[in-house]
Amino acid sequence: METDLTVISLILKASIPVKVVMLLLVLASIMSWSIIFSKRRLIAKTRTASDAFEADFWSGGDLNTLYSAATRRKGGTIGMAAIFEAGFREFNRLVQQGGVDPDKMAAECSRAMRVAQMREVDRLEQSLATLATIGSTSPYVGLFGTVWGIMVAFLEIGRQQTATLAAVAPPIAEALIATAMGLFAAIPAVIAYNRFADRAVRLEYRYDGFSEEFASILKRHARTRAGG
């Protein structure tokens, strides 16, 4: 009698532990791809918004105009614009108080921008740990299913007292499917994690540079006001 060795039939006929392993790997893969697509959109949106804002900022436009446009933005500001908004809001608050030392004003504005930057970076890095976990653990979960399937194959050999290919092929094949599913879940997660982590770091470097430059600009404005 010919044995059905199609992938679907092997999955359906797999033992309960191997089926549980496969289900976990499918869920991990679905979660991984969901994070990949959402994180890809977020990073692309943040980078595009930061590029547009940086072009407007260094074009020499009025800071108050930029601030008004940022505060009126539907859905709130993201990326570099959020850092600018936090710093300039603090600058306006201190100017309204009056009598604030320019150095202290620059330090307070830098602090406000640093807090906003931490929020933006945290938003970029959110869920990356999940991708790293899926990428690092999925092969081992699949390996567990493989070991279990091979163990079942050897038990079947001992029970039937025969080592024919027909006897050992199905459980070994289902075991290898578990390994393949583990790699299928892990490889995209690892690639996406490295890619998104690199892009998040690059954006963070841009945020650092902008914060330092903007803090210097605000310090000059504060000294001008104090001198005037």
Q: Give the separation between CA 214 and CA 67, rounded to whole angstroms.
A: 13
**How far is CA 184 from its chain centroid?**
19
Amino acid at 98: G
Token look-up 């547009």 returns 52
Contacts of 25 (CB under 8 A, 6+ apart): 138, 141, 142, 145, 178, 181, 182, 184, 185
Q: Give the separation between CA 1 and CA 3, rounded to whole angstroms.
A: 6
pLDDT at 57 over 70: yes
Contact at 8 Å (CB) between 162 and 10? no
Read off the pLDDT of residues 74-122 as tens digits, 9 standing for 90 and up.
767 899 999 999 999 999 888 888 767 878 888 899 999 999 999 999 9
Name the DSSP class of 164. Answer: -
Average of pLDDT values for 164-168? 63
Read off the pLDDT of residues 197-218 as tens digits, 9 standing for 90 and up.
999 999 999 999 999 999 888 8
